[in-house]
């Protein structure tokens, strides 16, 4: 059980139900996953978090799959078990193959390694890389 | 200056020069950036790190630009100044626009926020999201 | 079981028992939680860690509840399951309500998001914000 | 200079200016700090980020100073230089004294230490601490 | 089950078997642990990761036990449950005692605490500590 | 300048001077580095931090150089510029060579990479690795 328990649809306020409805419509599913039901005790934060997620993960200069791969990458980098599980599921729905997943993990591992080599060796930024 | 100073091409051993040559050829540039010159004091690690970077960042199930965007995302998530600067430069070369960069940052911010909501609320993984 | 097992009161050395006794007296409880029993294999570190925890978390310029909320915030930010569970329990004892917990999580999420936007966009510090 | 440069008020679109105006009104200042000017290249993200910041940091179950202290704590925990500088400035405005700042840092240090002791020793959660 | 399931020896390609054989020979064991079986879906990454691990963790300027202690320290600092469990097992094989483990944890906790004090207080680097 | 400025010896209280004196005596130096002068505004925290540092970093089951290498490793993993600079200086005094430093960095990079592969692939702990 999460910290504050779950807010199930049947016990939810109209404000929370409106968010749940939008999640189900947007994602074409009738499953409200645990994340939303756990944070729904604070309806304003639920609404804001869902709104931000919906807008940011939508088609833009980047397509939804690329964004989902980046989300998975960050979740793996942060060792967030819940987030890895839920967002690899989303990414699969949007077309992530096993090979793509494995390559995302390889890039995450590489960047995490090289980030530490750069910091540990106290490498200063090349003039050529400074924003103008 | 980095911790151990720079290994410049003119003072480098044949083993280090071979890596530098491969970097310049692969990247079609004559600039060896500070990262490589800082870690070259350990030629085996230089070679291994370059080889891994070259292989992982190449075309595969994901294209090089997508991989570079993930690399930038991880570097921003880790607050690695050098890595953000050097890999946004690489990403631009591979086609990253300002709008794409801004969207990568928005996804990084969102995932970092939501990762903490999931962990802090102690949300357990939905059955539907568990690997079979 | 933790790495080195638990040091239970009945098997503890006088030095460890003295710390356990002080924990129970200070916290008005007869429960020594797993954290202390797991680190008690190194009595010097147990004593130092308890002493620091007791002193730092006490009333000072900040009250104990505010300090506990900050502790919960850091634990959520670090995705430390044990620490979130144990310190939300402590915070509740000191007066944290569900609404307060939800707001702490919202601030943690916000700060983690904005920290990455600042770093990723390579924002330099405003002159007005530099310590004099 | 940040990655994409600054969006100054005089060159900003009406949408961006509306956010800048709201920041200045809300904070009773005529200084738009670098963070906002750096992320304003993506007006939708600027607006969303400001809206979230404004709402989350406002008076609620927790007062604005307590929230700001938590924000400072997370920023220090993440080693985010910009965020530490800008949010210690905000916190001072809201009443943070030197003694309060020093105590926040002490709690941040303590929690970061103890989080690792808990994880490293593989301490499992006490039954008493599990959410019901 | 890991994300992509396990690649068991009996179902593995010759390329994967060659890595598994080398792991078992090098480590003088007939146990291929879950980590390798989980990442083996990407044989190139399996091979590269094993090769790097084998080379880096071998005797060099530092002995294998010291390297393993550093690996355990990083895993605890990152709160990586799997990595703590598997590498404390490796470290024990190489001679880590309970007292040594406890001291590694104490240093990890101390460094994590002091790192935040340094960052939060915005301490600049002493001239004497700058690399020449 | 750090957040609260420096507490110089000549302006320090007897309590702070006693710590400074012990630092100089223990380390056989007349240089009080910036870290201590920045945190000295909170004399109780200064004393506790120095005492912990002195005790934990002393000869024990591990020798002081090994402990310092672990401290450097954590500081690089956390991307803490100040801490990397100050503790590589300490490590050199205790005998760290360039080759040893480069190997520490290689282990730090490796562990950071593999930690993410383990988490991202959702690898569960082998029975053989669970503490008995």
One-character DSSP codes across B103-127: HHHHHHHHHHHHHHHHHHTTPPPPG
C-alpha gyration radius of chain B: 18
The tokens 């060579």 sit on which residue?
F97
Answer yes or no: do C57 and D110 touch at CB < 8 A. yes
Residue-wise pLDDT tens digits, C59-108: 999 999 999 999 999 999 999 999 999 999 999 999 999 999 999 999 99
pLDDT at F3 over 80: yes
| pLDDT computed for residue E3 by the predictor | 85
Task: Please give the residue of chain F at the shortest CA–CA distance from D78.
Answer: F78
- Please state, in angstroms and rounded to a whole number, the distance separating the CA atoms of residues D77 and E88: 26
**Is D78 in the C-facing interface, judged by CB distances under 8 Å?**
yes
From the list C3, C70, C117, the residue facing D108 with the nearest CB is: C70
* Inter-residue contact A80 to B118 (CB < 8 Å): yes
Answer yes or no: do C102 and A78 touch at CB < 8 A. no
Confidence band of C3 (pLDDT split at 50, 70, 90)? confident
Answer yes or no: do C131 and F5 touch at CB < 8 A. yes
* Inter-residue contact C125 to D85 (CB < 8 Å): yes
Q: Is the ipTM of this complex over 0.95?
A: yes
| pLDDT computed for residue A119 by the predictor | 97
Residue-wise pLDDT tens digits, B6-64: 999 999 999 999 999 999 999 999 999 999 999 999 999 999 999 999 999 999 999 99
> Half-sphere exposure of residue C45, counting CA atoms within 13 Å on the CB side?
28
* Inter-residue contact C116 to D74 (CB < 8 Å): no
- Please state, in angstroms and rounded to a whole number, the distance separating the CA atoms of residues F39 and F51: 14
Residue-wise pLDDT tens digits, A40-77: 999 999 999 999 999 999 999 999 999 999 999 999 99
Answer yes or no: do F41 and D122 touch at CB < 8 A. no
**How high does pLDDT run on average in chain B?**
96
Answer yes or no: do C4 and F131 touch at CB < 8 A. yes
Min Cα–Cα distance to chain D from A42, Å? 11
| pLDDT computed for residue D109 by the predictor | 98
Tokens of B82: 């050098």
Alpha helices in E1-97 (DSSP H): 14-27, 34-39, 43-56, 64-77, 81-93
Mean pLDDT of B72-101: 97
Min Cα–Cα distance to chain B from E130, Å? 8
**Is D5 in the A-facing interface, judged by CB distances under 8 Å?**
yes
Answer yes or no: do A3 and B100 touch at CB < 8 A. no
Report how many helices (DSSP H) and strands (DSSP E) chain B contains, helices first: 6, 0
**Is C127 in the F-facing interface, judged by CB distances under 8 Å?**
no
Min Cα–Cα distance to chain B from D45, Å? 7
* Inter-residue contact B100 to A132 (CB < 8 Å): no
> Half-sphere exposure of residue A129, counting CA atoms within 13 Å on the CB side?
21
pLDDT at C111 over 90: yes
Residue-wise pLDDT tens digits, D39-51: 999 999 999 999 9
Among B101, B76, B105, B82, smallest CA distance to B91 is for B101
- Please state, in angstroms and rounded to a whole number, the distance separating the CA atoms of residues F15 and F46: 10
Confidence band of D8 (pLDDT split at 50, 70, 90)? very high
From the list C76, C114, C116, the residue facing B77 with the nearest CB is: C116
Mean pLDDT of D56-73: 98
* Inter-residue contact E94 to E63 (CB < 8 Å): no
Answer yes or no: do C84 and B109 touch at CB < 8 A. no
DSSP code of C58?
A: S
| pLDDT computed for residue F132 by the predictor | 67
Cα angle E114, E118, E119 (rounded to 5 degrees) comes to: 115
| pLDDT computed for residue E131 by the predictor | 75
- Contact partners for chain C, using 3 or more CB pairs closer than 8 A, are A, B, D, E, F
Cα angle C40, C45, C49 (rounded to 5 degrees) comes to: 95
**Is A66 in the B-facing interface, judged by CB distances under 8 Å?**
yes
From the list C103, C113, C126, the residue facing D33 with the nearest CB is: C126
Confidence (pTM) = 0.97
Among A110, F107, A118, smallest CA distance to B38 is for A118
E contacts of C1 (beta carbons < 8 Å): none
Q: How large is the greatest C-alpha to C-alpha distance in chain B, in angstroms?
A: 59
- Please state, in angstroms and rounded to a whole number, the distance separating the CA atoms of residues D52 and A56: 14
Residue F10 burial (10 A CB sphere; 0-12, 13-18, 19+): exposed
Tokens of D20: 């800048």
**Is F121 in the A-facing interface, judged by CB distances under 8 Å?**
yes
Alpha helices in D10-97 (DSSP H): 14-27, 34-39, 43-56, 64-77, 81-93
F contacts of A72 (beta carbons < 8 Å): 120
pLDDT at B70 over 70: yes
Among C54, C13, E104, D115, smallest CA distance to F56 is for E104
- Counting as low any pLDDT under 50, the low residues of chain E are none
- Please state, in angstroms and rounded to a whole number, the distance separating the CA atoms of residues C86 and B4: 43
Answer yes or no: do F106 and B45 touch at CB < 8 A. yes
Please state, in angstroms and as integers, the Cα–Cα distance from residue E21 to each residue in E27, E32, F92, following that order: 10, 9, 39
Chain B interface test: which of C70, C81, C112, C118 (most B C-beta within 10 Å): C112
* Inter-residue contact F42 to D102 (CB < 8 Å): yes
pLDDT at D61 over 70: yes
- Please state, in angstroms and rounded to a whole number, the distance separating the CA atoms of residues D127 and E11: 41
């Amino acid at each position: 059980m999460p910290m504050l328990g779950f807010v199930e649809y049947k016990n939810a306020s109209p404000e929370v139900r409106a968010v749940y409805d939008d999640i189900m419509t947007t994602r074409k599913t009738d499953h409200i996953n645990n994340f939303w039901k756990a944070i729904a005790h604070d309806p304003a934060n639920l609404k804001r978090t869902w709104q931000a997620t919906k807008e940011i993960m939508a088609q833009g200069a980047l397509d939804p799959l690329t964004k989902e791969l980046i989300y998975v990458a960050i979740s793996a980098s942060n060792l967030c078990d819940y987030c890895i599980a839920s967002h690899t599921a989303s990414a699969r729905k949007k077309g992530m193959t096993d090979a793509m997943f494995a390559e995302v993990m390889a890039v995450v591992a590489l960047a995490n390694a090289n980030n530490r080599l750069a910091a540990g060796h106290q490498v200063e930024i090349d003039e050529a890389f400074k924003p103008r």
